[in-house]
Amino acid sequence: MKRLISILLLAALALGLLAACSDEEPTPEPTQAPANVQVQAGEAGGLPADLLAVANERGLTPQDIRAALKTYVPSGKMDEYYLFSSGGQSGNVVVIGVPSMRILKNIAVFTPEAWQGYGYGDIGTEEVLDGGNVDDTKIRMGDTHHPALSETNGDYDGQFLFINDKASARVAVIDLRDFETKQIVKDPNLISNHGSSFVPPNTEYVIQTSQYATPLGWEYAPISEYKEKYRGLATMYKFDREKGRIDMDNSFSIELPPYWQDLCDAGKLGSDGWAFCNSFNSEMATGGIEQGNPPFEAGVSQRDTDYMHIFNWKKAAEIAEQPGKTEVINGMRVIRIPTAVEEGILFLAPEPKSPHGVDVTPDGKYLTVAGKLDPHVTIYSFDKIQKAIADKKWTTDEFGIPVLNFDDVMLAQVELGLGPLHTQYDDKGNGYTSLFLDSAVAKWTLGGEDPAGYKLVEKLPVQYNIGHISSAEGGTVSPDGKYLVALNKWPVDRFLPTCPLKPQNEQLPDIGSDQMNIIYDMPMGIGEPHYAQMIKADKIKAWETYPEVGWDPITQSPSEFKTMPGQERIERDGNNVEIFMTSIRSHLTPEHVTLNKGDNVTWHITNIETAPDATHGFDLGGQNLSLSIEPGETATFKFVANNDGTYAYYCTEFCSALHLEMMGYMMVAPAAAQ
Ligand code: CUK
Ligand code: CUA
């Protein structure tokens, strides 16, 4: 009886919660054909009677059927594109197949993840995470925003993926041969980044700008010294493609005013060598509502224009090599503002109003800037910018940086709607801009040199509060068009409720036809996706298994701890114990590991399988350890056997009929028994 009451109570509570959570929602505008429009024979390509019956029973409209046909990928068939989406506050990257929108993998980046064995065991992947520690604080979270695929000649080459952590100014490198994170670097002079990650057409660098300004050198300074001491930075992380690593010794930064730099994009083709970044606090507001100051959201939005930052990174890279042109701050070479101005590296241009996204067109000739509080997008011409620079037609800001005249560099403005944020392009000369406040995607034409050629074509409602969009191969010199993923903030009424925290979601508009249509809704099941990049599937050359047995995935080379059958052993040297183990269906060798309390243990496991998919996991109870040892991999972990007792270790992947037997005992003898 008591049990029944508590079940009823729980049910009532759940209902109450559901009701409360739907009460809060804004009522969405109806945006799709009502579900009760029946499909008639002859529609939808003359469906056979049995299919017609299914469609009508499920209340599908002809448009629904079209959408299903365009996205359904039959069992065993593959998607056409990979979409690499940021996983926001979950600190990872989500890999999605397009057009099916099936999730293929979450790549653990800034956050430990047990299935992938990422971030456990003191060395290996835990050392990768430690690369992003802030001083001696271990950082085990991340806020990923902008993935960037590596490029060759302005096209995605499918080799590497970079992504930033906005929270702690870090950038990670993912190797797309095995979809694993290889490196995390921390900018020593910043605590938040946002304009990252962006790469130039040949990925010589990974570009990053700061978001919230902090004192130069990331020192302490009271907020009252904001103008004097607080600064932004553009950091050019040198990328060593051979090694697959960011080379911090050859990276450098350019000092920027404390204007809160936002998104960036790299030039391409004719504008290669340049980078463009927005900012949204040229007011240099410092908040402090508790002292009677204007709150940040008002203080930061006072002026009608902010500044686009235009910098010549190629020239900056040359300057950074010259003696006396940089100052080394916390080990990083920094080009200070006066040097940047003197060398003609850094310029500003006004942009309306609280700008967010800046996106270079595929031909590299134009930049689209979207201002959150301005209903237009503004198109700048790279040629006009170059001419204004050559003519030295500028005023200066209070840091002495040249400010080009808006009218000299602006080419066109297109009124699109409320809250424009981000722009992508297709292969037919169109731009697509997300409208956050309108919850819509606007399609508009690029007019080349003719300002009258920039025109709004169509608006597609999306559900809801759209942020970024991502078109197929959209960041390249040759976009495919075809699909455009909308990364939305709120689903409101799109999915079964999981209140109060609802799934963030992505929608798939079809942009291959004359009229845009949403053809798929996909809940993320994980943090807020900001940006994503979509690459043709055949450009990714992922390994089926590691190239040889005994492979170290961190260094992507043979491991010195490779252990083959017959070589399994336990070596003891005083308190130091080293274990060389193999795993194969269905045993772990050795099966007994005997230790003494206090032993320092280093444990290597080689998965000697060569068959695709024959992964063995490894969990060791009581040690906060989870490994995924893929075919051919040698993994290593370390711990101190601090607690005596009897422990079981076992394989976590149901790899064979005798998987449950794939285990062993670790016995740690107490001091008295030794
Ligand atoms: S941001 Cu999230 S909607 Cu970080 Cu690129 Cu614009
Ligand atoms: Cu190996 Cu289960």
Q: Which residues of 398-435 are buried (b: 16+ CB within 10 A; e: fewer)?
A: ebebbbbeeebbbbbbbebbebbbbbbbbbeebbbbbb
Ligand 2 geometric centre to CA of 566 (Å):
20
Ligand 2 geometric centre to CA of 555 (Å):
25
Specify the ligand 1 atom closest to the Cα of 434: 3
Find the CATH number of the domain harbouring 481.
Answer: 2.130.10.10
**Strand, coil or helix: what is 399?**
coil
Same domain, 501 and 625: no
Specify the ligand 2 atom closest to the Cα of 583: 1
228/619 Cα distance (integer angstroms) = 53
557/547 Cα distance (integer angstroms) = 9
469/489 Cα distance (integer angstroms) = 12
Same domain, 289 and 337: yes
Same domain, 600 and 571: yes
Residue 62 inside a domain? The answer is yes
- Hey, which residues does 588 pair with through a beta bridge? 583
Choose the weakest-confidence range: 41-50, 85-94, 468-477.
Answer: 41-50
Find the CATH number of the domain harbouring 661.
Answer: 2.60.40.420
Task: Please compute the mean of the pLDDT values over residues 411-436 and round it to a whole number.
Answer: 97
Specify the ligand 2 atom closest to the Cα of 615: 1
Using alpha carbons only, how large is the chain's radius of gyration in Å?
A: 28
Question: Which ligand ends up closest to the CA of 147?
Answer: 1
Question: Which ligand ends up closest to the CA of 619?
Answer: 2
Q: If you write DSSP's letter for every residue of 268-335 in order, what string do you get? A: -GGGTTEEEEEES-TT-----GGGTPPPHHHHTT-SSEEEEEEEEHHHHHHHHHSTTS-EEETTEEEE
HEC string for 126-174 = HHHHHCCCECCECCCCCCECCCEEEEECCEEEEEEEEEEECCCCEEEEE
Q: Is 530 in the pocket of ligand 1 (CB under 6 A)?
A: yes
Q: Which protein residue has the closest C-alpha to ligand 2 atom 1?
A: 616
Ligand 1 geometric centre to CA of 195 (Å):
9
Same domain, 267 and 416: yes
Ligand 1 geometric centre to CA of 145 (Å):
6
Same domain, 323 and 440: yes
Q: Of the residues 514, 539, 564, which one is the last residue of a structural domain?
A: 539
Mean pLDDT of the chain: 93
Task: Please compute the mean of the pLDDT values over residues 520-541 and round it to a whole number.
Answer: 96
Question: Which ligand ends up closest to the CA of 86?
Answer: 1
Share of the chain above pLDDT 70, in %: 93
Ligand 2 geometric centre to CA of 586 (Å):
6
Question: Which ligand ends up closest to the CA of 614?
Answer: 2
Q: Is 662 in the pocket of ligand 2 (CB under 6 A)?
A: yes
351, 313 contact by CB (below 8 A) = no
Share of the chain above pLDDT 90, in %: 89
Same domain, 173 and 132: yes
Residues of the domain holding 501: 81-539
Question: Which ligand ends up closest to the CA of 89?
Answer: 1
Q: What is the pLDDT of residues 603-655, one digit of tens each?
A: 999 999 999 999 999 999 999 999 999 999 999 999 999 999 999 999 999 99
592/186 Cα distance (integer angstroms) = 41
Distance from the Cα of residue 269 to its chain's centroid: 25
Mutate to test the pocket of ligand 1, among 165, 439, 530 (most ligand atoms within 8 A of CB): 530
Q: Of the residues 539, 563, 590, which one is the last residue of a structural domain?
A: 539
Same domain, 65 and 85: no
Is residue 291's pLDDT more than 70?
yes
Ligand 1 geometric centre to CA of 558 (Å):
40
Same domain, 139 and 229: yes
Residue 11 inside a domain? The answer is yes
**What does each C-alpha distance from 390 to 153, 188, 313, 384, 400 come to in angstroms?**
27, 35, 17, 10, 18
Same domain, 530 and 576: no
Q: Is 264 in the pocket of ligand 1 (CB under 6 A)?
A: no
Mutate to test the pocket of ligand 1, among 85, 86, 145 (most ligand atoms within 8 A of CB): 145
Q: Residue 157 is encoded by which pair of tokens?
A: 């080459």
Query: Which helix or strand (DSSP H or E) is residue 668 part of?
Result: strand 663-669
Q: What is the pLDDT of residues 309-323, one digit of tens each?
A: 999 999 999 999 999
Choose the weakest-confidence range: 137-151, 403-417, 497-511.
Answer: 497-511
Q: Is 467 in the pocket of ligand 1 (CB under 6 A)?
A: yes
Q: Of the residues 515, 539, 563, which one is the last residue of a structural domain?
A: 539
Q: Is 313 in the pocket of ligand 1 (CB under 6 A)?
A: no
Residue 32 inside a domain? The answer is no
Ligand 1 geometric centre to CA of 88 (Å):
10
Residue 257 inside a domain? The answer is yes
Q: Is 353 in the pocket of ligand 1 (CB under 6 A)?
A: no
Burial class (CB in 10 A: 0-12, 13-18, 19+), 561: middle
Q: For residue 177, give the nearest of 607, 556, 563, 631 by alpha carbon.
A: 556
Ligand 2 geometric centre to CA of 496 (Å):
35
Same domain, 134 and 48: no
Is residue 54's pLDDT more than 90?
yes
Residue 370 inside a domain? The answer is yes
Q: Is 145 in the pocket of ligand 1 (CB under 6 A)?
A: yes
| pTM summary value | 0.93
pLDDT-derived band of residue 47, with 50, 70 and 90 as boundaries? confident
Q: Which protein residue has the closest C-alpha to ligand 1 atom 4?
A: 145
Burial class (CB in 10 A: 0-12, 13-18, 19+), 627: buried
Instruction: Write down the pLDDT at residue 354.
Output: 87
**What does each C-alpha distance from 423 to 392, 420, 436, 467, 611 come to in angstroms?**
30, 9, 12, 10, 44
For residue 4, which amino acid is it? L
Residue 406 inside a domain? The answer is yes
User: Which is more confidently placed, 24 or 555?
Assistant: 555
Same domain, 461 and 579: no
Task: Please compute the mean of the pLDDT values over residues 230-236 and round it to a whole number.
Answer: 98
25/14 Cα distance (integer angstroms) = 17
Q: Which protein residue has the closest C-alpha to ligand 1 atom 3?
A: 467
pLDDT-derived band of residue 21, with 50, 70 and 90 as boundaries? very low
Same domain, 253 and 214: yes
Question: Which ligand ends up closest to the CA of 198?
Answer: 1
Q: Count how many domains the chain has.
A: 3
Residue 440 inside a domain? The answer is yes
Backbone φ and ψ for 291, nearest 5 degrees, come out as -105, 15
Is residue 6's pLDDT more than 70?
no
Instruction: Write down the pLDDT at residue 41.
Output: 56
Task: Please compute the mean of the pLDDT values over residues 513-524 and round it to a whole number.
Answer: 94
Ligand 2 geometric centre to CA of 600 (Å):
26
Q: What is the pLDDT of residues 264-274, one digit of tens each?
A: 999 999 999 99
Residue 385 inside a domain? The answer is yes
Specify the ligand 2 atom closest to the Cα of 650: 2
